[in-house]
Structure 1
Amino acid sequence: MSAAQSAAVAQEPVNPEEQNRMAVRALILLLITFILGTLCLQGFNLVFTNIGADVGAPEQAALITSLPSIVLGIVCFIYGSLGDFVSLKKLIVFGLVTLFVGSLFGFIANFFFTKNLWTVIIARILQTAGEQVAGSVYLVIATKYLKNELKVIFFGLFTAGYQVSAAIGVFAAGLLSSIAWQYLFLIPAITIVFLPFLLRLLPDRRGGSKHVDWIGFTIFGLASAFLSLFFSYNAWWMLIVCIVLFALFAVYINRANDPFITPAFFKNTRWLAAIMLIVLFYFTNYCMSPIFNSIGGTLYKMDVTQVSHYIVWAFLVAALFGTTSGWIVGKIGRTPAIITASVLMMCGFVGSALCINTNFGLLTLFACIFYAGCGLMYSPVVSTVLDTLPVDESGRGVGMNDLVMNVTASIGIAIFGAQLGGTALGGGSIIGATGPAAVYSNLLVIAACVVFVGLIWFLCFHKHIYRGESKQEKHEVAPAPEEA
């Protein structure tokens, strides 16, 4: 959920029933927009290696996913802050126009002109920045303008919409890649027709004059971008620039009059211990789909369409566990839920690593197990992190969660994606295979080890993280995710 949910909204006399009806109509259009944008994102996550090869840049293909992911993490935070003083109408105009421009640019530049890696990346960045507005505005509307009994329903629809769009996304990517992957860009372009309707339905209200720290956002965002670029290009000067920018950010927040985040925020040891759970558990968040796609193409001689028919079931499992995660956590508590989710993720990775050369249907089963863990993980781990912060810092906490989640995942896909076509891990494996099979098996084992480190970290620090909370508080769950 975005920080914008806690935005102070100026009040004006409005009939509550009429306001509720308008909110419901707006939410339906916003949900469709968010679903189509997420569908496009998941489609590109599945076929980015194919696109990289097609544009003549296979070694940099992971940037198609990693750079838009960084932008996603940053704009989640920025849009939350903008909701404090910018009208929702202006925000949605910016979002839908940006999404439309990115869609047309990506399709035209790569279909009618020479295909190029950077036109793909620029288009995906524009699409990502645009579609996320729909997600942020959706959560603001659901929180501020719906009757209480409808809020839970629409938060549940938001969660289900994300997971189902991920499932449809991989299916659409498989279908369109057999025709022309450029058509993926056009999937969310249709949402521009919603703009006049949303302008009539959305409230034209401004929040307070809360300061938005553009300088802080810019420094922090650039530092995060160079960190991901370093892992993609292995250029040490990028790491140096990243370190310098983070150092500059530290100096800035210590001296600025009103930084978006203060040094005291980073001195909260409970939060530091908890945020590491997101770093470790979400490091491999984007890795299973491209590894699965590469295994299908290289070892089983399947095209992307055939692969998508299998992996779509894994996303449907994630949708099931994601929408029921609140009920599960309510029954067993957050600590058992996090342990169960991490074990499912590890079993999915290890099982896949052991079955590389057996049967693709069996691989799909283990992919389903992995995504069951992913679906279950979000609510307990995010609520755990947020509960380490005081109420007046919860908005910034949600923003930092989104940023860390997306930057971490983008670094993970940059590292793992760079190894998919390499031979560094092909010398041997636990299944005795060599070559590409060994590469895939070893990558899956390494991914399982990352999740295992996250589980060990949680077991070591969970008492400190939950310090001072009552038994009832430990069973509370987070609201619907802004992204998974």
Structure 2
Amino acid sequence: MTTETTAVAAKDPFDDPVTSNKMAVRALIPLLITFVLGTLCLQGFNLVFQQVGADVGSPNQASLITAFPSIVLGIVCFIYGSLGDFVSLRKLVTVGLVTLFVGSLFGFVANFFFTANLWTVIIARVLQTAGEQVAGSAFLVVATKYLRNDLKVIFFGLFTAAYQLSASIGVFAAGMLSSIAWQYLFLIPSVTILFLPILLKTLPSKSGNGQKVDGFGFVIFGFATAFLTLFFSYMAWWMLAVSVILYVAFGFYINKASNPFITPAFFRNTRWLRAISLILVFYFVNYALSPIFNAIGTNIYHMTTTQVSLHIVWAFVVAAIVGTCSGMIVGKIGIKAGLVTAGTLMFIGWTGAAFSVNSGFVVLTVWACVFYAGCGMMYSPIVSTVLGTIEKDESGRGVGMNDLAMNVSPSIGIAIIGSLLGSNALAGHSVTGATGVAANYSNLMLIAAGTALLGLIVFFVFKKKIYEGNHALENDKAKAE
């Protein structure tokens, strides 16, 4: 009797599909709130980093306050997702929340009660970034592995909605707190430590697939990603060269190692390669709208950055609303139709803005809302599509690769768009009728529209191959039957 009782007690509820779904939902809510508060803090510091740099006596090095956390984010996005296949999510999230809490307290105490210093700000922000991203990665791994397919699209939609909403709230929070004391920004995500007892009860305790963590492989890939991220921050070509060398070395390593964390077979999955190409194309110019609109507002409409942000924030709100509803919408129309709808909205938004540079900033804001509606709609179907091409026991690595693609692709895009924006290389004339400097902005937005159109073309060309045996479509098939 005692043995039977022990066996029942020791059984992991995540082994049963019904109970795992319930447990996953209970874990996802606090993980989502943690991600929201961490992102809110991130966006807040992105807005006020120049003021912070001036206050700590290092105005010329203020960009490091955002650069170092961005580098860390680029690395941990992939590593945390991948570790979800090997390490207990319970342990991973515990380390993450504690790191986030320590970074929050250290940042506030060191810079409020003592003399504020650039490096105490940077160290605190690095710790906070590394800690909060655990919640984001764990959310996606749990949703992918343990939720029913009809709930996955809903929670993926909530995830992107939460990101967009926290980005807009972060701008306002930073604006208010910067007038009081920016140090209070550090404390925003500290309350998430209260979620730890709940997450310890609701997250799976088993250690992934039981295999030993490939530490050496993670180190090589981590450094390769770090130098790639550094390149897009500083545009130093030797950093790109180092990154390429490390990625090549990583390729040799996984072909020779006895038990690498990711095998060559993962990269030979042509369905996954076709699907991930959709992320690379659709997300290529996702960072470009804000700087282009800021330049238009400043140089054509003589607006301040604050005035521009008060217009753009409505686009973030629209993205949050559409993102919240995207799961239900995709559940009704299907993953394929949802992806096409999102890509079409992105194309229409960029195209409409390109033809409206001289039509007033309110009109431009409307087109920005259309574009961001597409962004809010896109995340759920595209993530479901990509993760549906790999086995569920590889979903952590799939989440990591998605995060990496979503960070690197728009970084490349903003580096290219940014250089063209600053040089006015496309000024003079545009097919939209704009002339002079307005033509530069119009042509850049036409290029952005072209990437959305290219994404749709790639989707229709690869659609049949991508969705052959794609387990993300199980719910769609059940409805059809």
TM-score of the superposed pair, with normalisation by structure 1: 0.78
Counterpart of 1:161?
A: 162
Rounded Cα–Cα distance in structure 2 between residues aligned with 1:239 and 1:194? 40
Counterpart of 2:370?
A: 369
Counterpart of 1:213?
A: 214
Q: How does 1:24-423 map to 2 (within 5 A)?
A: 28-44=29-45, 55-56=59-60, 63=67, 66-81=70-85, 84-86=86-88, 88=90, 90-104=91-105, 116=118, 122-138=123-139, 158=159, 160-176=161-177, 183-195=184-196, 197-198=197-198, 201=201, 205-207=205-207, 209-297=210-298, 299-417=300-418, 422-423=422-423
Contact preservation (8 Å) 2:278, 2:459:
yes
Which string of whole-angstrom CA distances, capped at 9 and with x for unpartnered residues, describes residues 167-220 of structure 1? 32233344445666665444223334555x447755693436322222212212
Of residues 159-168 and 59-68 in structure 1, the stretch that sits farther from structure 2 once superposed is 59-68
Counterpart of 1:4?
A: none
Contact preservation (8 Å) 1:321, 1:372:
yes
Rounded Cα–Cα distance in structure 2 between residues aligned with 1:354 and 1:126? 44
Are residue 428 (structure 1) and residue 405 (structure 2) matched? no
Rounded Cα–Cα distance in structure 1 between residues aligned with 2:327 and 2:278? 19
Amino acid at match of 2:289: M
Rounded Cα–Cα distance in structure 1 between residues aligned with 2:280 and 2:26? 37
Q: Taking structure 1 as reference, are residues 249 and 141 closer, same or farther at Cα in structure 2, changes over 3 Å only? A: closer
SS state at 2:428 partner:
coil
Q: Taking structure 1 as reference, are residues 393 and 138 closer, same or farther at Cα in structure 2, changes over 3 Å only? A: closer
Q: Taking structure 1 as reference, are residues 468 and 30 closer, same or farther at Cα in structure 2, changes over 3 Å only? A: closer
Of residues 253-262 and 441-450 in structure 1, the stretch that sits farther from structure 2 once superposed is 441-450
Rounded Cα–Cα distance in structure 2 between residues aligned with 1:292 and 1:358? 13
| Percent sequence identity over aligned pairs | 58
Counterpart of 1:482?
A: none
Unmatched tracts of structure 2, length 5 or more: 1-7
Contact preservation (8 Å) 1:99, 1:188:
yes
Q: Taking structure 1 as reference, are residues 263 and 203 closer, same or farther at Cα in structure 2, changes over 3 Å only? A: closer
Contact preservation (8 Å) 1:47, 1:293:
no
Q: Taking structure 1 as reference, are residues 415 and 331 closer, same or farther at Cα in structure 2, changes over 3 Å only? A: same
Rounded Cα–Cα distance in structure 2 between residues aligned with 1:75 and 1:63? 19
Q: Taking structure 1 as reference, are residues 443 and 92 closer, same or farther at Cα in structure 2, changes over 3 Å only? A: same
Which string of whole-angstrom CA distances, capped at 9 and with x for unpartnered residues, describes residues 142-177 of structure 1? 789999999998776555433432332233344445
Contact preservation (8 Å) 2:100, 2:130:
yes
Counterpart of 1:12?
A: 10
CA drift of 1:294 comes to: 4.6
Amino acid at match of 2:205: R
Aligned residues: 461
Cα RMSD between the aligned structures? 4.3
Amino acid at match of 1:70: G
Of residues 457-466 and 22-31 in structure 1, the stretch that sits farther from structure 2 once superposed is 22-31
Contact preservation (8 Å) 2:426, 2:440:
yes
Q: Taking structure 1 as reference, are residues 150 and 333 closer, same or farther at Cα in structure 2, changes over 3 Å only? A: closer
Larger Rg: 2
Q: Taking structure 1 as reference, are residues 247 and 95 closer, same or farther at Cα in structure 2, changes over 3 Å only? A: same
Rounded Cα–Cα distance in structure 1 between residues aligned with 2:153 and 2:473? 19
CA drift of 1:120 comes to: 5.9
Rounded Cα–Cα distance in structure 1 between residues aligned with 2:392 and 2:94? 31
Rounded Cα–Cα distance in structure 2 between residues aligned with 1:348 and 1:464? 29
Counterpart of 1:5?
A: none
Counterpart of 1:449?
A: 450
CA drift of 1:393 comes to: 3.4
Of residues 264-273 and 353-362 in structure 1, the stretch that sits farther from structure 2 once superposed is 353-362
**Relative contact order, CA 8 A, sep 6+: which one is greater?**
1
